[in-house]
Structure 1
Amino acid sequence: MNAVNKNNSTLVQQLIQQGADVDELDASRDAPLVMAAYKGYNEIVKLLLEAGADVGAVDPGMKATALHAASYAGRAEAAKLLIDYQIDINKQGPYNGYTALHDAIWQNNVEVVKVLLDANADLNLKSNDGKTPLDFARSKNHREIVGLIEEKSGK
């Protein structure tokens, strides 16, 4: 995790080659893949995925996946990598019911929204407060995202 936090992809690669556990949690219970995705360390995300990192790993607080983290933080390239490795694009957080699309909308991360829409994120899933991604985008007054979702859904 120290190598991940320092964005040292060379060291991450060496540690993987030496048999390091790519899913080993740090003292805060953070998973390397979630942290790398959140920080946008794309080379490290790719190395971890290639080494078999668990795409189902979640952070200790919100129980969010690496895709949630990338979406919230506006990391479009990390989101693409995770989707390529079959992460559950529609997984909902246990506390708020947000999907990665909800998280991207929350932070007005238009590029991530585009990635998720291109990957066919489910536009009908509702958060725990009953909002679809379109409802949520409207409530946040994110007009560009509203337009993208309306275009995708044909509404």
Structure 2
Amino acid sequence: MTALMNAVNKNNPALVQQLIQDGADVNELDASQDAPLVMAAYKGYTAIVKLLLEAGADVRAVDPGMKATALHAAAYAGRAEAAKLLIDYHIDINKQGPYNGYTALHDAIWQNNIEVVNVLLAANADLHLRSNEGKTPLEFARAKNRKEIIALLEAKAGK
């Protein structure tokens, strides 16, 4: 594990900042091919997400398993503040995972993360993108019986 990834995993913003100042590569993958930004977003370490983004972390970085972005990770794990930061740094909010076709909105719906759904809707996430199963976010929410999210999506879509 890289020193930077170790500091990320320990939720140590001061050490992350010091390592960045000392020249650590914020985009260096660890032995498992995990990116610091994706890991920090997944864990909800907002201060570290901010430090990494300010230091030029690549918002296109993906995890080694599902090839999901940091926004997918934040959405799946219910990390609304990390999601907001990533959106502020122009991450592609409509990027679809190559294996399931899920957007971050699909991931937030899957895990019933209502606060993240609200963040993504406020950022104008595309409500028409279909997963590889052919489901729009609204259809996916209905399939998962996510009543509160269904109402949010219907309101956004004007239904």
TM-score (norm 2): 0.97
1:57 corresponds to 2:48: no
Inter-partner Cα distance in structure 1 for 2:157 and 2:121: 10
Instruction: State the AA in 2 paired with 1:65.
Output: T
Sequence identity (%)? 84
Give the 4+ runs in structure 1 shifted more than 4 A.
Answer: none
1:80 to 77, 84, 90: 84
Note the 1:112-127 alignment, pairs <5 A.
112-127=116-131
Q: Helix, strand or coil for the counterpart of 2:91?
A: coil
The aligned counterpart of 1:97 is 101
The aligned counterpart of 1:8 is 12
User: Structure 1, unaligned stretches of length 5 or more?
Assistant: none
Cα deviation, residue 49, structure 1: 0.2
The aligned counterpart of 1:69 is 73
1:19 corresponds to 2:26: no
1:151 corresponds to 2:155: yes
The aligned counterpart of 2:133 is 129
Inter-partner Cα distance in structure 2 for 1:78 and 1:19: 24
- Cα RMSD between the aligned structures? 0.3
Cα deviation, residue 52, structure 1: 0.3
Q: Cα deviations across residues 49-84 of structure 1 (Å, max 9, x unaligned)?
A: 000000000000000000000000000000000000
Cα deviation, residue 124, structure 1: 0.2
Q: Helix, strand or coil for the counterpart of 1:15?
A: helix
The aligned counterpart of 2:115 is 111
Q: Helix, strand or coil for the counterpart of 1:3?
A: helix
User: Structure 2, unaligned stretches of length 5 or more?
Assistant: none
Cα deviation, residue 45, structure 1: 0.1
Q: Helix, strand or coil for the counterpart of 2:25?
A: coil
Q: Helix, strand or coil for the counterpart of 2:34?
A: coil
1:37 corresponds to 2:41: yes
Inter-partner Cα distance in structure 1 for 2:104 and 2:38: 13
TM-score (norm 1): 1.00
Q: Count residues in correspondence.
A: 155
